[in-house]
Amino acid sequence: MSTPLLQTNDLQLAFGAVVVADHINFSLNQGERLAVIGQNGAGKTTFINICTGLIRPQAGRVFFEGKDVTELSPRAIALRGMVRSFQLPQLFTEHTVRDCIRIAAAGKRNRLGLWTPLAKAVDDDQVARILTMVGLDKRADELSGALPEGQRKLLDIAMALIMKPRLLILDEPTSGVSSDEKHGLMKTIMNALDAQKVTAIFVEHDVDIVSQYSTRVAAWIAGRIAADGTPEKVLADPEIRKNVIGE
């Protein structure tokens, strides 16, 4: 069997008496579209924070493409190909949409290990291609801070994609977006991921979105993975329906 893209071995973390990672053993293969579900405070964002180096677990290890990344910085992990977006998009709001992409690309170092000057970070064609992919080409010269929420989300994802990740972890890509906009947003995101052949994990509360856009679902309850399998199986699981979906 090939090496999993992402693997966690027995992750454990508690904030005081609150257990947020309770022996998490998880693995993800290339090409999967994993939806992470769970009620508020279940530990979904914490799991992402541990995998991407923002928080250290008290025990356990994280492996990306077979290499132990548990002690690496978020930046070092991103440069290796595991990139995440935040629940609230982290944009450079005083800069144009185009410059946000350039700044994100400049975060990569060149062959000599030097920082890349902004103007040379990425060629204009590449910027145009990524903006077209997420439907922001017509807004390239507008300030990112002026975009409506759905487009801020897309810009955040475009900034992640310019890093050429192999795994993209999206923390609630559709939160803050009206329900009739959610499907359009998800379709755009999924098309961009397909075009770039990027494996993805996305946290999502909307069951309809989960069932339509994931190939696998993992359900978090109080820091543990309570169910993991196909969307049909997990979304029909009585424990998940009662304790996660809230029926």
Ligand X SMILES: Nc1ncnc2c1ncn2[C@@H]1O[C@H](COP(=O)(O)OP(=O)(O)OP(=O)(O)O)[C@@H](O)[C@H]1O
Print burial letters for 123-162: b (CB count within 10 Å at least 16), e (below 16). eeeebeebbebbbbeebbeebbeebebbbbbbbbbbbbbb
Among 40, 141, 180, 238, binds ligand X (CB under 6 A): 40
Q: In the bound complex, what is the minimum distance in angstroms from residue 103's beta carbon to Mg ion?
A: 25
Is residue 86 within 8 A of residue 171, CB to CB? The reply is: yes
Q: In the bound complex, what is the minimum distance in angstroms from residue 84's beta carbon to ligand X?
A: 12
Q: In the bound complex, what is the minimum distance in angstroms from residue 18's beta carbon to ligand X?
A: 5
3-state secondary structure of 30: coil
Among 26, 43, 151, 200, binds ligand X (CB under 6 A): 43
Q: In the bound complex, what is the minimum distance in angstroms from residue 140's beta carbon to Mg ion?
A: 30
**Based on CB atoms, which residue is closest to Mg ion, 44 or 84?**
44
**Based on CB atoms, which residue is closest to Mg ion, 41 or 145?**
41
Is position 38 an interface residue for ligand X (rule: CB under 6 A)?
yes
Packing angle between helix 97-106 and helix 149-161, nearest 10 degrees? 30
Neighbours of 71 (CB within 10 A): 10
- In whole angstroms, give the CA distance from residue 214 to residue 216: 5
**Torsion angle, CA of 215/204/137/165, rounded to 10 degrees?**
-60
In single-letter form, the type of residue at position 60 comes to G
Is residue 38 within 8 A of residue 20, CB to CB? The reply is: no
Is residue 89 within 8 A of residue 175, CB to CB? The reply is: no
Residue 211's binding partner out of Mg ion, ligand X, none, with CB under 5 to 8 Å set by partner kind:
none
Q: Number of residues interacting with ligand X: please give it, by CB under 6 A.
A: 12
In single-letter form, the type of residue at position 81 comes to G
3-state secondary structure of 83: strand
Is residue 32 within 8 A of residue 215, CB to CB? The reply is: yes
**Based on CB atoms, which residue is closest to Mg ion, 45 or 199?**
45
Q: In the bound complex, what is the minimum distance in angstroms from residue 169's beta carbon to ligand X?
A: 12
Single out the segment in contact with ligand X by CB under 6 A; choices: 37-45, 99-107, 140-148, 153-161: 37-45
Is position 151 an interface residue for ligand X (rule: CB under 6 A)?
no
Is position 18 an interface residue for ligand X (rule: CB under 6 A)?
yes
Among 3, 10, 15, 178, binds ligand X (CB under 6 A): 15
Q: In the bound complex, what is the minimum distance in angstroms from residue 123's beta carbon to ligand X?
A: 37
Provide the binding-site residues for ligand X, judged by CB under 6 A: 15, 18, 20, 38, 40-46, 87
